[in-house]
Structure 1
Amino acid sequence: MKRKLAAGAVLSATALLTGVIQVSTAAQAAPTPSAAAQAAQQREAVLSVAKGQADPLAKALALGGQEKLVAKDAVVDANGTRHLRFERTFAGLPVLGGDLVVHQAADGAVKSVDKAVTEQIALPSLTPKIPADQASAQASGAVQATVGITADKDESPLKEVHQAGAAQLVVWAADGNPRLAYRTTVEGLRADGTPSSQLLVTDAATGEVLSTHEQVQTATGTGKGVFVGTVPLTTTQSGSTYQLKDTTRGGQSTSDLKNRTSGSGTLYTDADNTWGTGTVSSGQSAAVDAQFGAAATWDYYKNSFGRLGIKNNGVGATSRVHYGRNYVNAFWNDSCFCMTYGDGDGNTHPLTELDVAGHEMTHGVTSATAGLNYSGESGGLNEATSDIFGTMVEFSANLASDTPDYLIGELIDINGDGTPLRYMDKPSKDGGSADSWSSGVGNLDVHYSSGVANHFFYLLAEGSGAKTINGVAYNSPTSNGSTVTGIGRTKAAAIWYRALTVYWTSTTNYKGARTGTLSAAADLYGAGSAEYNAVAAAWSGVNVN
């Protein structure tokens, strides 16, 4: 028996008073100017229920007297089942690795819980041995020591460190050994002009660096021109001029940085509502790519999952083009809620390919949901999630000028020989990515360890063996020699999205990803269904058993 999810939750006043959510489904309506407000109201209504249950759930989960739950997100199924996502605090301090998802029946009964870590939080003292200013200096010093060095193939070396913010006292629990720590953000600049914002966690007793995470996600490429061709754009008329701002998609807009590396840029305007020429000599051409990429990403998530915007709150992102000079990169940054594109070599090759846009903005979706740590196996899952949905945005848009495929960054020619950045059917074809899981896969750069999940998704969607799709030849093997029959990319993506938003936590690894996607497949199509069995077979095909 197949079970379907609601396109959205409709909450009554009675439901909010009783804490029981009444859910109904409706056909997906076309975007309207009020969609953002409606989405924000619905999300706040669902979150209000989660907030109201935080204390009783903490007691039901036998958390300690100093622990509290803080509501982060909530998903409600058509049958009233709730999936409430919480962060955790200890003595008022954020617990990194304390996130969890509580799955409740419609009547509020707890069905199961997914925790980032299972260990109890207990600290001998809340007094740090290292003062905050020293911790901040140590964090800055740790980043300064990496100047000129990079371990990430998609990042240029760090050029300079600007400043370290104030160190915040936290509880570090992500490695299963809870301890008092500091969280510090260190700003800087990479050699290619990319801003750097590194989030470091250091032991409050020893100063040891426990975790470091680059918050500016990048995808490197050398574009060959403007990619989307002639496309429709929804704009806003203001007086006698038009603005490159789309009020039907949360007010998302595109601005011109005019080769600067900071600021929000200048919103694009035009007199006749005809934008760009398709050539890089017109600065508007890159803006058309960016605006369309943001719209295509919005539309994919909305039409596929009922998600309104990256944070599911009806707010559109800002795109910024013409960043820096000769900047061969593009990046998403949560702090400005913006997507930024450079102009490439000689300022003549904008990095505005469609799957780049979908990939980078999906980092924002991951941050707003599971929050997968950007290291180890969870980091590979984070990167693969962006590859998967960047690919799905490309298939959804179905542009003649950018034929949909399972190749990542195929048009930007990053290698200079016409080959793509990554291959989903056989990831090892790029020379470094993993085709299947092994005990050391978590030690790889996240762009290489992502190969396991990319390969899984391809197998689940299309199956193993040789085939040609949209004129591109693929030949996907399995690690165990099995034959996998695909279920189609739409179902595969639905299962991945369900796992990301409902079951996974910040520390989910490949074993947990298998468990989460099987739960998602059972929710969507039924335990023991062909889709459920295909998920199990595809994971076994990449040695995740």
Structure 2
Amino acid sequence: MTPRISRKTRVTGTVVVAAAALLAAGVTTGTAGAQPAEKGGSPLKLSASHRAELLRDASATKAQTAQELGLGAQEKLVVKDVVKDVDGTTHTRYERTYAGLPVLGGDMVVHTAKGGAIKGTTKATQKSLKVASTTPKIAPQAAQQSAQGVATKTIGAKKATAQTARKVVWAASGTPVLAYETVVNSVRKDGTPSKLHVITDANTGKKLFQFDAIHTGKGESEYSGTVDLGTTKKGSSYTLTDGGRGGHVTTNLSNGSSGSGTPFTSPDDNWGNGKPDNPQTAAVDAHYGAALTWDYYKNVHGRTGIKGDGVGASSRVHYGDNYVNAFWDDSCFCMTYGDGEGNNAPLTAIDVAAHEMSHGVTSATANLIYSGESGGLNEGTSDIFGTSVEFYANNPADPGDYLIGEKININGDGTPLRYMDKPSKDGQSQDSWDSNTGNLDPHYSSGVANHFFYLLSEGSGAKDINGVHYDSPTADGSKVTGIGRDKAEQIWFKALSEYMTSNTDYKAAREATVKAATDLYGADSAEVKGVESAWTGVAVN
């Protein structure tokens, strides 16, 4: 099969965001953001084969690494991801097991010098990993029944079905304990699928934690103009399969809510008509948005594909009936888009794809738990990279900005869904951290991360960028001088992929970004000082 690029593809869009997705749009081919100078801390652009080789090497020596780290006799390491810097430093991310049981919240990153010596570790927990016994006092069926009740009570789950509870060690908060993890598959009231993970103490039956693996967002499609698409010829017709981007495929769910969907085909490699009454139009938006997001991560951060393995994800459009949402699901490695109110406003746009695909990148790297402060950082990461992709798109019809969902009119008055320069303008998000941040919904606690990123990029005070007026305050009234968005993106990505773990909170995020900036630009650099002052500006000290 020969990859082809279509000559004309009209796309229409307006997007809406909501809780977890991003929504805006972009249109034309973009240019990569600026790379930092080739200093020792700059990440190498690893090919899929080189990355695979590094992963094999790490797997072959994981027992020795565990011994060097002084891990207990019952602990073992499982290699998850790897990043290598220009100076030869390697950052290998591991999950852990204890007596053969998965350890949730036991992840770590081991930082190794070029010669193989361990320079340091970043751990999700500093607690000793041990439990009194691996024999539970309650049966797994009791945990399943309890988890199903949690889903019904907390998210109003419909058609809830609990999978078999698996025995784990819970180490993400407090002292490690023997626990059960139960995944409850259900549907929320608005039609969004749910995969609620419920953690139950295996000795007392008490619920310890819960988080949903489905990350959602609302919106309306946005006009995107004529674009080029990566397609593949199969027989006498073409399909929306992008051979140049890991085989990313876009399919049609035809208003269903399950399955992988059916391929879109075209006899002449021309797709859609720019209007939602043509089913291909939503597919064009989704397919193009995914392509641009792939290009951004590859060209700006050297990451080929969401997992860094060169494998494309997939996009499913026309989900459900009148479904006003979009979501990322790790289990299908896919993005899914509804058609909006009256099935006439598909939620397909570049920002949506970038936001949702970034949830996948977060899952493949730090795997920030979608609850508490780590949940806010997870959601903020998708906003940060969704915004970054919009700037990367360099679309004159939709210039990059720090407004989330500005084209969607979700509020009915033309205002954006979220504001990065002053998040509280949406009436719910936080400008700065306080002791209640971890108790908020991740879409509102994300305001702290979004505001930090804006301050780091552009600085505080009033200014106009691409025709939009901003006026960003700080928590203590201090003045913050921005270092530029391109550098801010590099710092955030390096922190995410090398120094954050599953339960990183805002204080730890400050430490991670300072380390990342130090690696990239030097300990006494203006960039490190900028990171510190931007965090102080959002009351994270």
TM-score between both structures, scaled by the size of structure 2:
0.91
Instruction: Give the Cα separation in 2 of the matches to 1:429 and 1:535.
Output: 23
Match of 1:278 among 267, 274, 279: 274
Which residue, 188, 191, 195 being the options, matches 1:190?
188
Residue of structure 2 equivalent to 1:125: 133
- Residues 178 and 203 in structure 2, CA contact (< 8 A), matched pair in contact too: yes
State the secondary structure of the residue aligned to 2:406. coil
Q: How does 1:4-23 map to 2 (within 5 A)?
A: 5-9=42-46
Residue of structure 1 in register with 2:148 after alignment: 140
Contact 1:464 1:485 in 2 (8 A): yes
Output the amino acid matched with 1:218: T
- Residue pair 1:227, 1:352 contacting (<8 A) in 2 also: no
Letter in 1 for 2:235: G
Consecutive unaligned residues in structure 1, runs of 5 or more: 10-37, 151-157
- Asked whether the 8 Å contact 2:254–2:261 carries over to 1, the reply is yes
Of 100, 116, 137, 1:108 maps to 116
Of 457, 460, 468, the match for 1:464: 460
Q: CA deviation at 1:162?
A: 2.9
Q: CA deviation at 1:133?
A: 1.9
1:337 to 333, 340, 349: 333
Counterpart pick for 1:312 among 303, 308, 312: 308
Aligned equivalents of 1:386, 1:330: Cα separation in 2? 14
- 1:385 maps to which residue? 381
Counterparts of 1:404 and 1:264 in 2: how far apart (Å)?
33
Q: CA RMSD in A?
A: 1.3
Deviation at residue 3 of structure 1 after TM alignment: 3.6
More RCO (CA 8 Å, sep 6+): 2
Task: Provide the residue aligned with 1:14 in structure 2.
Answer: none
d(CA) in 1 for partners of 2:491, 2:172: 26
Match of 2:469 among 457, 473, 496: 473
Asked whether the equivalents of residues 301 and 307 of structure 1 are also in contact (C-alpha less than 8 Å), the reply is yes
Alignment of 1:366-377 (within 5 A): 366-377=362-373
Percent identity over the alignment is: 60
In the TM superposition, residue 283 of structure 1 has moved relative to its aligned partner by 1.0
Deviations 1:23-66 (A, max 9, x none): xxxxxxxxxxxxxxx51x22221111211222122122221111
SS class of match (1:520): helix
Structure 1 residue 498 corresponds to structure 2 residue 494: yes
Q: Distance in 2 between matches of 1:220 and 1:533?
A: 37
Which one of the candidate residues 448, 473, 478 is aligned to 1:452? 448
Q: Distance in 2 between matches of 1:432 and 1:472?
A: 22
State the SS of the aligned residue for 1:201. Answer: strand
Q: d(CA) in 1 for partners of 2:318 and 2:99?
A: 46
Letter of the 1:54 counterpart? K
- Asked whether the 8 Å contact 1:433–1:450 carries over to 2, the reply is yes
CA contact (8 A) 1:226 1:278 kept: no
TM-score by length of 1: 0.91
Deviations 1:516-542 (A, max 9, x none): 001000111111111111111111111
Q: Which one of the candidate residues 197, 204, 210 is aligned to 2:208?
A: 210
Query: Among 345, 349, 361, which residue is 1:353 paired with?
Result: 349
Contact 1:434 1:452 in 2 (8 A): yes
Q: Residue type of the partner of 2:131?
A: L
Q: Deviations over 1:259-298 (max 9, x none)?
A: 1001111111101111111111111111110001100110
Deviations 1:180-236 (A, max 9, x none): 000111000112211111111111012111111111110122x1x443221111211
Match of residue 296, structure 2, among 278, 297, 300: 300
Q: Given the alignment of the two structures, is residue 534 of structure 1 paired with residue 530 of structure 2, yes or no?
A: yes
Classify the secondary structure of the residue corresponding to 2:295: helix
Supply the AA of the counterpart residue of 2:343: N
Look up the SS of the partner of 2:327 in the other structure: strand
2:285–2:349 Cα contact (<8 Å) kept: yes
Counterpart CA distance in 2 for 1:350 and 1:114 is: 42
Q: Single out whichever of 497-506 and 438-447 deviates more from structure 2.
A: 438-447
- Preserved contact between residue 40 and residue 87 of structure 2 (Cα < 8 Å): no
Partner of 1:408: 404
Q: How many residues align?
A: 504
Please identify, of 161-170 and 454-463, the stretch whose mean Cα deviation from structure 2 is larger: 161-170
Structure 1 distance, partners of 2:134, 2:368, is 27
Aligned positions of 1:239-278 closer than 5 A:
239-278=235-274
- Look up the SS of the partner of 2:336 in the other structure: strand
Q: Which residue of 1 aligns with 2:168?
A: 170
SS at match of 2:187: strand
CA 1:159–1:376: 2 relative to 1, 3 Å: closer
What secondary structure does 2:230 align onto? coil
